[in-house]
Amino acid sequence: MRIIVTAKSASANAGVFVAPVFSDQLDAPHLSEVDAKSGGRVAALRAIGEVTGGRYVSVLTSAGRLPADHLLLVGAGARADFGRQELQRWAAAATRRLAGRRVIRIAVDATGIIAALTSTAPALRAEGGASFGPGLAADSVGPRDAAITAVDFIVRGVIDGSFHEGVGGKSVIESKPAPLSVLEIIVPNGTDLAGAREGARRGEIIAGGVERTRRWSNYPANEMPPLGIAEEARDRARAVGLRATIITATQLKRMGAGMLLAVGKGSKNPPCLVVLSGGKPGAKDPLGRRLAMVGKGVCFDTGGISLKPPAEMEEMKHDKNGAIAVLEAAATVAQLDPGRPIHALAACVENMPGGNATRPGDVVTALNGKRVEITNTDAEGRLILGDALHYAERELSATHLVDVATLTGIAYSAFGGEVAATCGTDAALLDEFHLAARRAGEVYWPYPLADAYVKNMSAWSADFQNSGSREASLIRSGLFLREFVTVPWVHLDIAGTAYRRSATPFAGRGSTGAAHTSLVELAMGGGVRR
Ligand code: BES
Ligand code: ZN
Ligand code: MN
């Protein structure tokens, strides 16, 4: 798709002209102009209640003298609630509205969007992450960055909205996206066009990473075993200039990664640890960090001997989402800033029952030497992550760690599909991550690592156990991981946000690409206060 950023006066003919409608400003300046050029279409449709500005409420009508064949009005909700995530979803919904249509060229009117992004009430303006008090205010965008951010997130949304499983996927269930070959974004006269075009390039690279994360995570387990992830990762690394190391089961055995191996024992598909690295070996990034991102790559989670009930077990092919997110995040970073030091580690394994599977009550020695009683083989994510986190510290000298996992069903019940849970050992890094996430258009919320519950992890035959009673089980999943880190660390539990159980106007069902972009922001320094 060719992306053109043009000042208002210069816009060329498009198939469909897309304009946002804000529910609290139905007479916005950009709409008055669209209304006039379209021959009063906006006013006429507003008069009968067809155009309301309600989120994703859309109407396709005639374009009149607008430089297009058709006009698509898409509701964007109230301006005060309009931040990066809302913009990206708006653009994706507009694109999905055209699915199945023969449209090859669209023009998106960004003028009203730029105004809306900067019009957020001052009280709500504190940049996301830090303001855990009053609730989830829309993130604000400074006036200087508004045009660049608008273009960036429109591009991301249009690419997101064009996502499709394609041939071999479920192409018969959802109609194919419109075959867009040109996306024109119209900005106000006087906009810094070079900056906006840079935003478009950034958006395109990031959206490509999200798209690949979604596609790759959606693979069924029969087509994507642990070594399949390794192969894909090696290809990606070659394409973007990262180093790839695959640590095989044999090497893991020699090394003593007892927890990762224990989870893989029941499967014929052997586990592995995939490491992608950028920059000179041992180098620190411009923020003085050796950041390592660690992902849970359970290609399928049956629960093992602690077998899961059959209902929705097929969703557990998505239990590798964290691993894919870190691998793709590293690839995206390598494209945005070639040579930037970064590590991604994917702990890949299949959790199966079987004659050789780990039993409840088995005791294993972790890579860091701690003895762990596996009381529940379904709490496997923390086992594989514990070994991978320690590996990152010991073998890669990581100074900062972030791990990503579809770790607990509780994170989904408690926070749902829109908010992911975090915890960590370092307030500064947590804060940095939360700010990076808001700038990425994602929502995370922290839970406390309360030491009072450490005793609930105690085992009588080992240093501690991997599971236990229901009490504070989310907190204990974090406390367990903490046993394997000594440097600043943040944990992301994306069990709720990793995949969608049903389609929305802005995305189909399946993997969401969660965490990819927040990780990219974190790695690129986007969590640093400006
Ligand atoms: N992969 C699951 C968590 C999960 C559940 C992700 C539902 C997405 C949707 C994880 O390995 C798991 O089974 N967790 C257990 C932990 C428990 C045994 C302590 C859970 O949440 O029930
Ligand atoms: Zn799992
Ligand atoms: Mn499990």
Q: What is the CATH number of the domain that holds 195?
A: 3.40.220.10
CA of 124 to the centre of ligand 1 (A): 35
346 and 274 Cβ atoms separated by less than 8 Å: yes
Residue 530 lies in a domain: no
For residues 204 and 250, membership in a common domain is answered with no
For residues 457 and 492, membership in a common domain is answered with yes
CA of 400 to the centre of ligand 2 (A): 24
Pairing relation of β-strands 342-351 and 291-301? Answer: parallel
Q: What pLDDT sits at residue 172?
A: 54
For residues 270 and 370, membership in a common domain is answered with yes
Asked if residue 456 has its Cβ within 6 Å of ligand 1, the reply is no
**Atom 7 of ligand 1, residue of closest alpha carbon:** 409
CA distances from 300 to 193, 267, 436 (A): 47, 10, 30
Ligand 1 atom at minimal distance to the Cα of residue 408: 21
For residues 271 and 137, membership in a common domain is answered with no
Residue 122 lies in a domain: yes
CA of 295 to the centre of ligand 1 (A): 15
Q: What pLDDT sits at residue 119?
A: 75
Asked if residue 467 has its Cβ within 6 Å of ligand 1, the reply is yes
Picking from 196, 214, 232, the residue at the C-terminal end of a domain is 214
Asked if residue 378 has its Cβ within 6 Å of ligand 1, the reply is yes
- The C-alpha atoms of residue 339 and residue 281 are separated, in whole angstroms, by 11
Ligand 1 pocket, mutate which of 378, 384, 466 (most atoms under 8 A from CB) = 378
For residues 187 and 231, membership in a common domain is answered with no
The number of domains in the chain is 2
Residue 108 lies in a domain: yes
Ligand 1 pocket, mutate which of 305, 408, 469, 476 (most atoms under 8 A from CB) = 408
**Domain limits at 274?**
221-524
Instruction: Kindly report, residue by residue over 100-127, the tens digit of the pLDDT.
Output: 999 999 999 999 999 999 876 443 333 4
Q: What is the CATH number of the domain that holds 492?
A: 3.40.630.10
Reference 120, options 154, 84, 148, 79; nearest CA is: 79
For residues 274 and 209, membership in a common domain is answered with no
For residues 285 and 192, membership in a common domain is answered with no
Reference 376, options 322, 447, 453, 301; nearest CA is: 301
For the annotated catalytic residues, the residue numbers are: 308, 382
246 and 232 Cβ atoms separated by less than 8 Å: no
For residues 58 and 199, membership in a common domain is answered with yes
Picking from 168, 190, 214, the residue at the C-terminal end of a domain is 214
395 and 270 Cβ atoms separated by less than 8 Å: no
Residue 529 lies in a domain: no
Residue 74 lies in a domain: yes
For residues 68 and 142, membership in a common domain is answered with yes
For residues 404 and 460, membership in a common domain is answered with yes
Q: Which amino acid is at 387?
A: D
215 Cβ contact list (under 8 Å, min separation 6): 163, 165, 511
Residue 305 lies in a domain: yes
Ligand 1 atom at minimal distance to the Cα of residue 298: 1
104 and 178 Cβ atoms separated by less than 8 Å: yes
Q: How many residues does the chain have?
A: 530
Q: Which of the residues in the chain have pLDDT under 50?
A: 121-134, 171
Instruction: Kindly report, residue by residue over 13-35, the tens digit of the pLDDT.
Output: 889 999 999 999 999 999 999 99
Ligand index nearest the alpha carbon of residue 376: 1
Q: What pLDDT sits at residue 13?
A: 85
Q: What pLDDT sits at residue 121?
A: 46
Residue 410 lies in a domain: yes
- The C-alpha atoms of residue 238 and residue 334 are separated, in whole angstroms, by 11
Asked if residue 17 has its Cβ within 6 Å of ligand 1, the reply is no
Q: What pLDDT sits at residue 168?
A: 57
Mean pLDDT of the chain: 94
Ligand index nearest the alpha carbon of residue 406: 1
Q: What pLDDT sits at residue 144?
A: 75
The residue with tokens 């991604």 is: 344
Q: What pLDDT sits at residue 12?
A: 75
For residues 273 and 402, membership in a common domain is answered with yes
Picking from 174, 193, 214, the residue at the C-terminal end of a domain is 214
For residues 323 and 345, membership in a common domain is answered with yes
